[in-house]
Chains A and B, each alone.
Chain A
């Protein structure tokens, strides 16, 4: 009986710790730059909240028109240190999209902890490349929405593989499956009437067959060279990532629009 009481009290204690955090309305969209309308902000918040809960990570969008003399990377790092976003934990797993709509027109994506693992600099580059066209047209709402959707998608994919890999595309899987089926059934139909089972060795007279003379003469060689495409951004930070002043390591991808 006493055991149960202890367990019960522990559960109660934990729930007291958890519940207030869950009840507190977490902010996902920090629209200091006022790039979204009220309705858009609400919609993005809804989306961010949903995807954040699903992936147990905080997905943030930060906009600004005035960075106080800092560059977009510094601004993002300080924002993380100051606000300490994270899923159920301060300074925890998070991903951020920072849009700097000052004269610089820059964008920075960062991933912290789980975000750094699943949204490494390479993947953030991929997201950035996809949202840049929207940013260029100043369609910030679509850009933000796509960022949330892509982040949600990539967070589900094992960090070892490319989330945009053709092997993960349904049309490709379907096409390969159809080709396999076609080839297998085709060869079954082709072989229905019996196969030829004699080879060149069946009738060969080994005693009278021989190589009378053979030569392999080197004539010439050609060399072609091609520049190695630098793969952008190493995994786990590298490339566009860094460490905040508060000591939080992160991945990142920076670009202008």
Chain B
């Protein structure tokens, strides 16, 4: 099933506009609020089976999609289309964070980011080889988790004092016990097979104030994918992710010791809730030195992640500068205090 959003004014195709947060018509400039957009204007075209080919009802061209795609644009007429049957039932997202950064802004921000690359080769900094930039709604699972944490640890406090000709070192050992409830809300884990997990983790945090109830028009004009893994399948990943948070939380409740060694740490993680959400990501594909580099930009905050190429010359220059500079500083301090040249 292919869904088009028609402009009630002129009948052209409408796309989501990141600046206003509304559907906007490219031809007449008409804007429609997503919450009030009349269903009459949504035109459906049904397909008999879950095919990978759809027919664009605008121009009649075949829209070929990936099996995971839920929103795309017709490659011939450019109309934003949403594959509604892939967003219904179990596959219906509950929430979405709409794009707030437009394609042009994303491109500008990316160019600026390249220019600031302190360790990237010169040719890379101009960002003139950007092959493509794609706005994409990436499927995430968000978990509300309750953790029951029990920790047994040994803490030491060390006191030193001198009496007579002796220096005393007194070590007090304490048995530390903590029983904690730690809850986390909306911890995101990306559910797309194609996306690099590390890259997606670095994109966080998203501002959850902008979390909206899911409506298909948000996807108009962007690419979107459905999840490849269910929330149960990804539970292990979120537990792993949260375990690190718990460690820091536990450490923050144990203070005043010179050293702490953990004897036992038991974490029982329970899932209270999970939501299927779509989060906005700009994917930037950059050809440099016969290699394709992929970068991702948080479509809401503009944070850019991805490994840019490394210029060994520049890294060497930085190293020489910093090491040389510190050596000169050390040497001048030493000379000022009267140290020799050698």
Instruction: Let me know if A225 and B166 touch, CB within 8 A.
Output: yes
Q: A170-B342, A174-B327, A216-B155 are in contact. Are A205 and B183 (CB under 8 A)?
A: yes
Of chain A, the residue at the smallest CB distance from B113 is A194
Instruction: Let me know if A228 and B315 touch, CB within 8 A.
Output: no
Q: Give the Cβ gap from A212 to chain B, nearest Cβ, in Å.
A: 4
Q: Does B179 contact A (CB under 8 A)?
A: yes
Interface residues on A, range: 35 or more
Q: Does B176 contact A (CB under 8 A)?
A: yes
Q: Give the Cβ gap from B181 to chain A, nearest Cβ, in Å.
A: 5
Q: List A216-250 residues whose CB lies under 8 Å from chain B.
A: 216-228
Q: Give the Cβ gap from B268 to chain A, nearest Cβ, in Å.
A: 13
Q: Give the Cβ gap from B306 to chain A, nearest Cβ, in Å.
A: 6
Mark contacts of B236-273 with chain A using CB atoms, 8 A cut-off: 1 yes-contact digit, 0 otherwise.
00000000111111001100000000000000000000
Of chain B, the residue at the smallest CB distance from A204 is B184
Instruction: Let me know if A181 and B319 touch, CB within 8 A.
Output: yes
With A and B bound together, what is the CA distance between A120 and B302 in angstroms?
63
Q: Does A178 contact B (CB under 8 A)?
A: yes
Q: Does A198 contact B (CB under 8 A)?
A: yes
Instruction: Let me know if B307 and A209 touch, CB within 8 A.
Output: no
16 extra interchain contacts, Cβ-Cβ under 8 A, other than A182-B319, A219-B173, A222-B173?
A157-B338, A161-B337, A168-B337, A170-B331, A173-B327, A180-B323, A193-B307, A196-B202, A199-B245, A200-B248, A203-B187, A204-B183, A210-B180, A214-B177, A217-B177, A225-B168
Hey, which bits of chain A sit against chain B, CB under 8 A?
153, 156-158, 161, 163, 167-168, 170, 173-174, 176-178, 180-182, 184-185, 188-189, 192-200, 202-205, 207-228
20 A-B pairs with C-beta separation under 8 A: A156-B339, A157-B339, A177-B330, A181-B322, A185-B322, A188-B118, A199-B245, A203-B186, A203-B187, A204-B184, A208-B146, A209-B181, A209-B182, A210-B181, A213-B178, A216-B177, A223-B168, A224-B169, A227-B165, A227-B167
Q: What are the 9 closest A-B residue pairs judged by CB atoms, nearest first?
A: A181-B323, A194-B305, A157-B338, A168-B339, A208-B183, A177-B327, A200-B245, A200-B248, A205-B183
Hey, which bits of chain B sit against chain A, CB under 8 A?
117-120, 144, 146, 155, 162, 165-187, 199, 201-202, 204-205, 244-249, 252-253, 303-308, 310, 315, 318-324, 326-327, 330-331, 334, 337-342
